[in-house]
Structure 1
Amino acid sequence: MIDIDNMSILVVDDMKSMRLTIRKMVKNLGIGTKLKFAENGKQGLEILNTEKFDLAIIDWNMPVMNGISMLDKIRNDNKLRDLPVIMVTAEAERDIVSEVAETEIDGYLLKPLTLASLDAKIKAVVEKINNPDPATLHRLKARDLEEKEQYEAAIEELKLALSHKPSASRLLRQLGLLHFKIEKNAIAEKCLLKAISVNKQDSMSRVYLADYYLRKNELEKAGKYCLEVLSLTNQYNDKAFDLGEKLLKNDFRQLSLNIFSKFITRSKKQNAARQKVIETCLLHDELEYPQELLEHVIKDNPSNYEMVYKAGLIHQQAGEREKALKCFMEVDRQAKGHVEAKFQIAKIHYMNQKVLMADDYLNQILRIDPKNEAAINFRKKI
């Protein structure tokens, strides 16, 4: 039981002003007797491993270790996993609510905080912990049984939990995962499908479904659920990218490109994501989509001559010689010493039967790099 008047609270937030605000609010509310602060998730975990707290209030967006990563580590630590956690997030980050809801969060608060909202949320969380509902009691018992590998008994406890909350997607998902453990895959699949039907924001059940269909080599179904996951969260971006590549290798082109497109949109570093997709597509002989991506990159940053050079290579690979030449000439204009661009220009001039122009560019290369073997051998050829 948590005594709200004498409880201990850990506040984890990288902004000093927010830490001071929460400190003042808690003091004005007369809640708790112990209040401690950490500046990021890593520091917060170090404190939790040395001191006991009744509640943690964690900011979502922090350097070093963000709130969701800290929460994940808390829930996977047997000593800390039952700690009540309230997540604080900005209005602009509301897309994380589905992520938080599926990671056994006890509550979340939107910034800017108010005295009334903080008071109501802390009291609601403490009340829920002190007086757990029947579904929660059965869920916790199922967890204990699962850890003892008593899977059948755990399934029965979850069924009892669902009798109290038949539309709880988390319970349905846990029931599905337990059926996977006893190799009743068809029942597990039905449970996960039910979970996403009752909760349109359930990203984790979709992840498990995508993994299940991937194991069965039902790539189209795996891709479908992967796309839905990407619409909800960017937590599984790397996994989605890998599936997109697998789909491309197996001729599910459009589905693969849809995943790549969403992967780029959901990435924090979109230019890096574009470049990664471009390289992967080229590796698997997909040319049209990288051309589109490079057009966007070059439009946003026309002085990025390395991207312009890469666009030239793609046009060349696609047989679009004049477009390729235009790109290489642009690179040569911007970076006079770009030997690779000069070499490509020489090749195209030679293919266009403009031998003297080709020879001129080879001479330019040899003035920069007299031992350039590619230029020397090509000059001998022409």
Structure 2
Amino acid sequence: MTGNPSALRRLLQPVPPRDIARETAWLVLAGPFSLVAFFGVLAGVVAGIALFPLIVGPAVLAAVLDGARLLGAGHRRLAGALLGERVPAPRPVALEPGLWRWLKMRIGDPLAWRAVAYLLVRLPWTLISLFLAGLLALYAGASISYLVLWFPFHGAALPVFGIQSDAWAGTLVWAASGIAVLAALPRLIHALTTVDRGFVAGLLGRPLLSGRVRDLEESRATAVEDAALRLRRIERDLHDGAQAQLVALAMRLGLAKEELGAEPVDLGQVRDLVTTAHANAKQALTELRDLARGIHPAALDAGLDVALSTLVARSGIDVRVEVDLPRRPPPSVETIVYFSAAELLTNAAKHTRSPVRLALTEDGGVLRLVVADTGAGGAAVVPGGGLAGLADRLRTVDGELSVASPPGGPTTVTAAVPLPR
């Protein structure tokens, strides 16, 4: 499931008041949401299956499944905000060109069908949860309020739960039972939402084994390909840059040596050769320094915040940097986040000259890099594009890339990388 405590351990832990409020809000808000989603998706699936022999049937079913996936994403975000259940989003469907392929991929999307299963399972559990929690809350309120209501009722029974006492002193027993139920109510709500957490993680997240193996295989292939590309780039840069300068240096020093052995010695020519060789040496050092910076920026030795500030200073655009890290990430994470920031700032510089916001924070064991600008928008992760390559590199460390860029802007790109515990 996730990196959170197990269900049994979570049930036995004390429930903070803040969590009680959030879990209660989950029951109240997710209930109507699930009710509407259930009947909408159920009607759509039935209509799509019934019309399947017709041309419009597959299109209706594909649209409903796409909507179910969006509804599942809504539940997943709501669970993350209220229940603290951070479930990684499933990977988008790899669509192929052609109407038939599009329909086949949409209708055969297992993650969409898992979202449908979640909505079908979620509704009865929502009704049970609301009924139990509401029933106990009503009993607690009625039995405690009977302390006061006993007087206007003249000792008569309340119209709910048969609460009645001939003497006022008997209302204390009812009130005590109501207080006990009220004290146990948060634990019951916590138990009910623990089951909800299991539904969200099991049905709305990534597949546990096969999907994880596939992600690891793809991440390994991406890492190997990326390493090979970097090695070829280093070899090319060394061959075309520093190596050429060093060859020229050796040649000019050799010529200077021959001139020094000749009679008479042409000091002017020797001086020119040594001057040129000195320039070649400085150029080779500069190119080697730039190459080393591309492999591992020296500013990272002082920490990711210093490295990002140095990167922003060289970017040539107005960037507002916000870094809030309670601890230093591992070197591998620092490096990939640094180069991700470099690529995102380069993309931002191409499309906007307005101020850019770069924020780096850690929340719940996840490092989040956010780059936002007010450009024209329209950015998207497309196969073969720069953002797709960045997403592939992030997956090598279990990271994710999300892009929000409606037409007209603004554009917000978020890179999330889980940190080892």
How would you bin the TM-score normalised by the shorter chain?
under 0.3
Higher relative contact order, structure no. (Cα contacts within 8 Å, ≥ 6 residues apart):
2
Radius of gyration: which is bigger? 2
TM-score scaled to structure 2, two decimals?
A: 0.18
TM-score scaled to structure 1, two decimals?
A: 0.20
